[in-house]
Amino acid sequence: MLRKLFSFNGGVKPDPNKSASTREPIARLPLPPQLVIPLHQNIGGTPRPLVRVGERVRHGQRIGAADGNVSSAVHAPASGIVMAVEPRLMPHASGLSAMAVVIEPDGQDEHVEREPFDWKAASADEVRDYLRDAGVVGLGGAVFPSHLKLSPGRAMATHTLVINGAECEPFITCDDMLMRSEAHDILHGAQIMKRLLGARQVLVGIEDNKPEAAAAMRAAAAALGDPSIEIVVVPTRYPAGGAKQLIRVLTGIEVPHGSRSTDYGVQCFNVATALAVLNALERGEPLVRRIVTVAGNVERPRNFDVAIGTPIGFVFQHAGLKPDTDKLIMGGPMMGIPLPDMDAPVVKATNCLLASSPALFPPPQPELPCIRCGECARACPADLQPFELYWHSRARNFGRAQEYHLFDCIECGCCAYVCPSHIPLVDYYRYAKSEIWARERDKDAADSARERFEFRNWRAEREREEKAAKLAARSAAAARPAAAATGAEADDPKKALIEAALARARAQKDAAAARATDELAPAGGQQAGTGGLQQAQAGGELVQAAPSDKQVE
C-alpha cells in the first residue's frame, strides 16, 4: 500500500554531490598517535572527568560521568595512558577550547568487559539510565541525549516513531552508506526504541536519491517480519531531513511554533542513533566511534569509521587532502561550520568533513542591498519572513526580530542560497541569536545579584529586629526583681516599669524643689533657709508655697 505523502513549504534543490563518496564501502580508520576526547560533546551539562593523568584506561571505559539528567557519559575509544586532562581546541567556528581527556593509545586495544543489558526485563527508566551512561546521543547533528527523547510524551502518548534517513544536505553520505551495510541492525534498534516509547508504528523516511539504501532497508524490514515498520521514500528536496519537515512529509502533522513533535505523538531519531541504541543494549558497546563522510577537495572521497577524538588532520591525511584547500568545514556546505584548525578532534556531532577550494566553492560575491524581492520568504521551510529578520537583526532591533520568530529559524541556509543580493542572511540571524542569549545571561546575572542584595538587606533587618526583641526581653526580666521588692506583682513587668518611672519622676521633682529653696533663701540667714519653704502633699506631688512677708523681712 502506498502511503500518502505531504509537502512542506519552501526548500531548494542544490546539486547533491553524493556520488563520489559512495563508490567504496565504509573503511575503518586506524587509531591516531593521540586521541583528544572532549568531555562536552552533547547538549546539556559537561560530564565530570573520572580519570587522572598517568592512569591507564581500557577501550570502552567511562572517562566522563554524566552531569545531571540532561547530559551523557563519555568513554575511551581505545586502551592507553591518559596524558592530560586539560582544555584543548574544539571543532567550532569560535576557535575556543574546552576540557578534554588526552589518551595515547598503547596498541593493545584492551576492552572493558562487555555485558549485554537485559533491556526486556529492565524497567524503562533503567534502560534510559543505561543509555545515558553508554553515551548515546543523537547522531544527526543535534547531539541531544537520546535517553531523554526516549521518554513517552506528556501531552499525549507517542504513536509514531520516525527514523530519519533522508540525509538531504549535499556531500554527506554517512547515513546512506550505513543503511546499505547495517540495515537489519538499524531496524532492530528502531524496534527497541518503539517499545520504549510505546509507539504503534515506525516510519523510515529515505530520499529518492538513495535507491540502494531504500532497497536494503526494505529487505531488512521484510526479514524482520514486523508489519509496524514501513520504509517510505520521499522526494529529494533540501531540507527534507529536518525533523519537522520530515514529520510533515510522512504524517501530515505540522508542528507549530513553541511546540514539540511529542506534543502530537511523534518522535524522530537518526538512523545512526538507532544503531547506537542497539549496540549499547545488546552488545554492551558505548558510543566511541561513528561514520564520517570525507568529501570535497580530497583525492579519495569516502566514508570512514572513525574513533571519537581522532584529530581531523589525521582523517584528511588518509583521504588525501589536496594542496589548494583553502577552508575546512565540519558538516555540509549549507549548515556546516568552518573549522579553526586541523588539530581539532572528531566529536559525536561530526557527520562530515568537507574540504573547500576556490574551484569547488568560489569566493562569495560582494553583498548588495536587499531589494525585497521575497525569494528568501518563498524558500524558507519554516514559513518565516527572512528579509524582516535581516533588517531587524542588522539594526540590532532584537525585540522586533523575536516578534518575527527569530528562534524558529533552523539556519538551513535556503534563504541565503536563493538571495540575488548575495546577503549572508544566516550569519545575521546567528549574530542576533547570540546577542539575545548574551543579554539574557546578563539579565539573569543582574537579577541574581539584585536578589542576593535584597536577601542580604532582609537578613540584616531581621537580625536587628531579633536583637531588639532580645534586649526588650532582658530589660523586662531585669525589672521583675525591682517590682517584687516594692510590693508589685512579680508577674506583671509592665506595672513594674510604670512604678519605676513614677519613682524617677518624684525624685526629679524633689531635687527641683530643693534647688528652688536654695535660690530664695538669704545668703547668710538660716531662718530664711529653713522657714521659707512650705510643703503641701497634694495627690502625691510636692507643692512649693510662696514665702510670707514676715519671712522675707
Closest CA to 39 of 135, 174, 146: 135
CA angle 36, 38, 40 (to 5 degrees): 175
Share of the chain above pLDDT 90, in %: 73
Range from 140-144, 269-273, 528-532 carrying the lowest mean pLDDT: 528-532
Averaged pLDDT of the chain: 88
Please report whether residue 78 resides in a domain: yes
Question: What pLDDT band is residue 147 in, cutting at 50, 70 and 90?
Answer: very high
The predicted structure's pLDDT at residue 414: 96
Half-sphere exposure of 304 toward its Cβ, with a 13 Å CA cutoff? 22
Q: Does the pLDDT of residue 292 top 50, yes or no? A: yes
Please report whether residue 344 resides in a domain: yes
Please report whether residue 534 resides in a domain: no
CA–CA separation, 363 and 520 (whole Å): 114
Cα-atom radius of gyration of the chain, to the nearest Å?
A: 40
CA–CA separation, 100 and 86 (whole Å): 6
Same domain, 204 and 242: yes
CA–CA separation, 264 and 248 (whole Å): 12
- Domain extent for 340: 20-356
Q: Does the pLDDT of residue 458 top 70, yes or no? A: yes
Number of structural domains in the chain: 2
The predicted structure's pLDDT at residue 69: 82
The predicted structure's pLDDT at residue 206: 97
**H/E run at residue 56:** strand 56-57
Same domain, 345 and 412: no
Helix, strand, coil fractions of the chain, as percent rounded to 5: 40, 20, 45
Please report whether residue 88 resides in a domain: yes
Quick one: 63 exposed, middle or buried, by C-beta within 10 A (0-12, 13-18, 19+)?
A: buried
Find the CATH number of the domain harbouring 286. Answer: 3.40.50.11540
Specify the pTM. Answer: 0.81
Task: Output 407 or 473, whichever has higher pLDDT.
Answer: 407
Average confidence (pLDDT) over 40-61: 93
Same domain, 336 and 431: no
Same domain, 139 and 238: yes
Crossing angle of helices 493-520 and 425-485, rounded to 10°: 70
* Main-chain dihedrals φ then ψ at residue 408, nearest 5 degrees: -85, -10
3 state DSSP class of 238: strand
Dihedral angle over CA of 146, 149, 150, 156, nearest 10: 180
The predicted structure's pLDDT at residue 155: 67
The predicted structure's pLDDT at residue 293: 97
Same domain, 328 and 375: no
CA angle 64, 66, 67 (to 5 degrees): 115
Query: How far is the first Cα of the chain from the last one, in angstroms, to the nearest whole number?
Result: 140
Please report whether residue 14 resides in a domain: no
3 state DSSP class of 170: coil
Instruction: Out of 327, 356, 385, pick the residue that ends a domain.
Output: 356
Please report whether residue 1 resides in a domain: no
Convert 176-218 into a string of H (helix), E (strand) and C (coil): HHHHHHCHHHHHHHHHHHHHHHCCCEEEEEEECCCHHHHHHHH
Instruction: Out of 356, 391, 422, pick the residue that ends a domain.
Output: 356
Same domain, 402 and 464: yes
Question: What pLDDT band is residue 490 in, cutting at 50, 70 and 90?
Answer: very low
Q: Does the pLDDT of residue 323 top 90, yes or no? A: yes
Same domain, 371 and 482: yes
Same domain, 339 and 419: no
Please report whether residue 500 resides in a domain: yes
Task: Output 318 or 480, whichever has higher pLDDT.
Answer: 318
The predicted structure's pLDDT at residue 549: 39
pLDDT in tens, 166-220: 999 999 999 999 999 999 999 999 999 999 999 999 999 999 999 999 999 999 9
Question: Is-contact 104 234, C-beta < 8 A?
Answer: no
Same domain, 70 and 196: yes
Same domain, 238 and 268: yes
Same domain, 114 and 177: yes
Q: Does the pLDDT of residue 83 top 60, yes or no? A: yes
CA–CA separation, 82 and 37 (whole Å): 11
Strands 97-105 and 80-89: antiparallel
Same domain, 340 and 417: no
The predicted structure's pLDDT at residue 339: 93
Please report whether residue 550 resides in a domain: no
